[in-house]
Amino acid sequence: MPKDRLLIGLEIGTTKVCAVVAEIRPDGSLRIRGVGESKSAGIRKGEIVDFAKATQCVRDALADAEEKADVEISSVWASVTGGHIQSFNNRGMTQIPQDRGEIDEDDIRDVENSAREVNIPDQNAFIHTMIQHYFVDNQDGVLNPIGMLGNKLEADFHIVHGIKTRIQNTLRCISDVDVDVEDVVLNSVASAQVVLDQHQKDLGAIVMDIGGGTTDYLVYEGGVIRHTGVLAIGGDHITNDISIGLRIPIARAERLKIDEGSCEIESVMPGETIILKNDLGFSGCEVERSVLNRIIYARIRELFELVEKDITAHCEIHLVGSGVVLTGGCCQLTGIHEVARDVFQLPVRSAAAQEVAGPTSVFQNPQYATAIGVVKYAQLMDVTTERRTLFGGLGRRIEGLFKAFRIL
Amino acid sequence: MIPIPRSTLKAGAEPSAVTCIIGIGNAGVALVDALTLAGAADHTRLVAVNTDSVSLSASVAKEKLLIGQKTTRGLGSGGDPELGAQATEEAEAELAAVVDGAGLVILCGGLGGGTASGAAPVIAEIAARANAIVIAVLTLPFSFEGKRRARQAVDALHDISRAANAVITFENDQMSEIAQPMAGLHETFAASDQILADSLAALLRLVAGSGPMKITLADLVPLFRPGSVSARFGTAGAQGGNRANQAVERALKSPLLRDKHLSACDHVVFHIEASSSLRFVEVEAVGRALAAQLSDTSQLHLAVSINDDLADTLLVSVLAGGSPCPREVVAQGKQPERIVAPSHDDSYPEEHNNSLPPPIETIQQITNPRAGDELFNTEPFSVLKDSPVRRNNKPKQETLSLDAIARGRFEKSEPTIVGGEDLDVPTFLRQKIKLR
């Protein structure tokens, strides 16, 4: 691996577009060189609704990153999200030819293809096919079957798919500013790479990235991704609820949420008020803290309940040993842990990026977890790809796979 | 411009001709059962025809006909179309009696096995000889069922297309596009049956519509003139302010029509059905949306029916024909020829020309717009957007006022709907939490 290898992670979020430039040190650790950021426009619920505006945001964020990290960006790894993204688990199976008996790269590819032979809607495309377990002749828990002897190779995969054109729109935003997209990664998969360490993945964990427009969640069990999901609800909804409930403009509601937002409803003193100063076009008013908190509490609790319901439908929630990890901008709300603990009945903590070096302000801020996670994911994939390329032509295959996304 | 053939503008009460739906083989019998249970039998003759006495005795159809008592002894055809055909010839007299006097005979079944593949061509001939318009609605086997069944299906399709006026096929493989990944087997088959049932019901509506702009059976004939064997068919419904555009878009996306180019068809019939709230601009919008899909030379026939049972729903059905079958027949280089065919109005008996079955109200039950919406729409969100669950949540007045303000900044974005609830509406409003 070249010494000065750079990886750029790009998150096109509902609130901000964020590009993280990181270098991989010779020892394999990551160091953040710089973070470029711009406020999002033309993006709702993680999806592009105004192409021109969104492209401009991407351009600004990348230019900012180039300036701060003092590099020239030619390709990025991008995270994707959106309520249209769905996932399921499936098992693939392939027979090893009698004359060979030894499992090789082709069989791995065959088993992956066979797992993907599931009918997804016509308009959808696969985003991830992530390996969970291999089984060689019903032998459980095989980590790497290459070189093993066997007649039958089976594998469980977690498959993520979404509407092709919407993912392509995200990619076009990036290619329009003359930057290549190496690959896409699901938001929650990226976030999990930095907020969880291997031990926590093995123990089992739920990661919830509550962003501006979407909540991306993921369940690790026994070191593998068991379930992923996207719910198009995020901080914007809280702001909107506040704006409607208190009858104040959206911009004021947003500031009120950031400054005073809390979902504690029991510890509030009766009659406590917050004074909103007058502003241009806003005459100022007083709001009761209990009202504000109730609005936020109702939304956050509902969000957790929806996610919990979905996760219990797909996984054994009691197997999640290390609890719930919250990240994303919304996890900074006061009292959010108590609500999550109440709903999930599991230990809850907030986390930002771990195991990276660089300016502390960056990796300790949960808002950047996804973009840093993208880089971390890229590093993992890069290593895998390179190792596989040594074995066979798999690197080329992966490349071919993502060409399918490009519309160039 | 929407060309409107003069004949569609005929008015006045007409004596009813019987529409007869014949389900052939196990799949056909199942479909007839579904239609019977949905209550369609009141105005239509539903006949179950099979070689298998067990399947037939389990059927709820009012009229049942066991064919090939000598050939198969009621044990089924065992996947052999030859046996199916022999069995049918044996029962020719009974079948002739069944189709006697019917203006429209709709054959349905699943090709690939023995009974439908063998019997359908023969029954189609018998019906055509009885001067009925014959429309076959058939499913083709899954590709994993093997090449032999596929070939039997293609051969049968070719034979049927010689006698039938129209063949509407549905490939089972397409089910994948309708059912969700990992959907249960039962759901997947139910979805497939639902499509066939919807198609049939829409077809019946088309010929039974009460006007003001009608399509008679005779108008359908040029659609399926010799050489055209593969009809394309789509139907869908929508509600709300933009219902016309939504309905036509869904109809074009519906499984039997998707990925097929309407521009290759030179005759297209479209049928709009709505309550008396139907506005001219809506008809115009549907026509314009369809015209955009057509080539300059193709002819568009318009039918409009008013059905006050529909409330807010607008149903659009599109039936296109006149082009050669894209797959099988062309591949074999054979041009199907028609043996008996009422191929144009003049040769068609007068009583049929003016005859129409009575309007079929009960059909609404099986094509209720809810089922149609969910089935034909590939957009998970918009399906739910129109789903009655949400509409029925609150009294109408309240919903209106909520929609106007409560969605706030999300008003223009795609709603986030989980379990029928629009989550963009503030939680405290939906859960009716008292803030003060």
- pLDDT for residue B373: 39
Suggest the residue from B402, B423, B433 to mutate for an interface test with chain A (most A CBs closer than 10 A).
B423
Question: For residue B32, how many C-alpha atoms fall within 13 Å in the half-sphere facing its CB?
Answer: 32
Q: Which amino acid is at A139?
A: Q
Which range of A83-87, A269-273, B269-273, B369-373 scores highest in mean pLDDT? It is A83-87
pLDDT-derived band at B82 (thresholds 50, 70, 90) equals confident
Structural domains of chain A ordered from first start: 86-163 (3.30.1490.110), 208-350 (3.30.420.40)
Give A-chain residues touching B427 at CB under 8 angstroms: 241, 295, 298-299, 301-302
- pLDDT higher than 50, residue B272: yes
- pLDDT for residue B256: 66
pLDDT-derived band at B367 (thresholds 50, 70, 90) equals very low
Suggest the residue from B376, B409, B411 to mutate for an interface test with chain A (most A CBs closer than 10 A).
B409
| pLDDT tens-place string over residues B129-188 | 888 888 888 888 887 888 888 888 888 888 888 888 777 777 777 666 666 666 677 777
Kindly state whether B424 is in contact with chain A, defined as any CB-CB distance less than 8 angstroms: yes
Q: Does the beta-carbon distance from A295 to B381 stay under 8 Å? A: no
Q: Across residues A361-379, what is the average pLDDT?
A: 85
**How high is the mean pLDDT of chain B?**
69
Q: Across residues B269-285, what is the average pLDDT?
A: 83
Q: Is residue B215 part of a domain?
A: yes
- Shortest distance between the Cα of B155 and any Cα of chain A, in A, equals 28
Give B-chain residues touching A161 at CB under 8 angstroms: 181
Q: Is residue B293 part of a domain?
A: no
Which range of A120-124, A199-203, B391-395 scores highest in mean pLDDT? It is A199-203
- pLDDT higher than 60, residue B369: no
Q: Is residue B131 part of a domain?
A: yes
- Shortest distance between the Cα of A232 and any Cα of chain B, in A, equals 6
Q: Across residues B72-85, what is the average pLDDT?
A: 81
Residues B62 and B119 in one domain: yes
Structure tokens at A159: 């498959």
Q: Is residue B237 part of a domain?
A: no
* Residues forming beta bridges with residue A109, ordered by sequence position: none
Q: Across residues B25-44, what is the average pLDDT?
A: 76
Residues B63 and B142 in one domain: yes
Rounded percentage of chain B residues whose pLDDT exceeds 90: 0
Least confident of A185-199, B48-62, B220-234, B264-278: B220-234
Q: Which amino acid is at A24?
A: I
Which residue is closest to A87 within chain B, CA to CA?
Answer: B181
CB atoms within 10 A of CB A237: 28
Q: Does the beta-carbon distance from A118 to B181 stay under 8 Å? A: yes
- pLDDT higher than 60, residue B245: yes
Structure tokens at A110: 């065959």
Q: Is residue B376 part of a domain?
A: no
Least confident of A87-96, A175-184, B227-236, B310-319: B227-236
Structure tokens at A167: 């993912």
Residues B142 and B68 in one domain: yes
Q: Does the beta-carbon distance from B378 to A123 stay under 8 Å? A: yes
How far is residue B123's CA from residue B22's CA, in Å, rounded to a whole number?
9
- Closest among A92, A325, A131, A110 to A226, alpha carbons compared: A131
- pLDDT for residue A218: 94
Residues B391 and B360 in one domain: no
Q: Which B residues 236-265 touch A at CB under 8 Å?
A: 258
| pLDDT tens-place string over residues B192-201 | 777 777 777 7
- pLDDT higher than 70, residue A30: yes
Q: Is residue B253 part of a domain?
A: no
Residues B405 and B334 in one domain: no
Residues B33 and B126 in one domain: yes
- pLDDT for residue A85: 93
- Closest among B178, B321, B300, B309 to B248, alpha carbons compared: B300
Give B-chain residues touching A123 at CB under 8 angstroms: 378
Give how many domains chain B has, as a whole number: 2
- pLDDT higher than 60, residue A407: no
Q: Is residue B244 part of a domain?
A: no
Residues B29 and B120 in one domain: yes
- Shortest distance between the Cα of B380 and any Cα of chain A, in A, equals 8
pLDDT-derived band at A39 (thresholds 50, 70, 90) equals very high
Distance of CA B413 to the CA centre of its chain: 33
Q: Is residue B360 part of a domain?
A: yes
* Domain coverage including residue B423: 387-430
Which of B228 and B113 is assigned the larger pLDDT?
Answer: B113
- pLDDT higher than 70, residue A207: yes
Structure tokens at A252: 């004021």
**How high is the mean pLDDT of chain A?**
86
Residues B353 and B405 in one domain: no
Residues B131 and B191 in one domain: yes
Which range of A192-201, B161-170, B268-277, B300-309 scores highest in mean pLDDT? It is A192-201
pTM, full prediction? 0.61
How far is residue B371's CA from residue B365's CA, in Å, rounded to a whole number?
10
How far is residue A263's CA from residue A243's CA, in Å, rounded to a whole number?
16
Residues B342 and B419 in one domain: no
In this structure, chain A runs to a length of: 408
| pLDDT tens-place string over residues A125-139 | 999 999 998 999 888
A→B contacts (Cβ < 8 Å), by residue, are: 44-45, 47, 49, 83-84, 86, 88, 90, 118-123, 161, 231-233, 236-237, 239-241, 243-245, 250, 288, 291, 294-295, 298-299, 301-302, 306
Which of B312 and A203 is assigned the larger pLDDT?
Answer: A203
How far is residue B256's CA from residue B265's CA, in Å, rounded to a whole number?
14
- Shortest distance between the Cα of A116 and any Cα of chain B, in A, equals 11
Give A-chain residues touching B426 at CB under 8 angstroms: 237, 240-241, 244-245, 295, 298-299
In this complex, which of B416, B426, B429 lies closest to A232 when CB atoms are compared?
B416
Residues B131 and B212 in one domain: yes
How far is residue B109's CA from residue B27's CA, in Å, rounded to a whole number?
5
Residues B396 and B344 in one domain: no
Structure tokens at B200: 């049939």
Q: Across residues A265-269, what is the average pLDDT?
A: 85
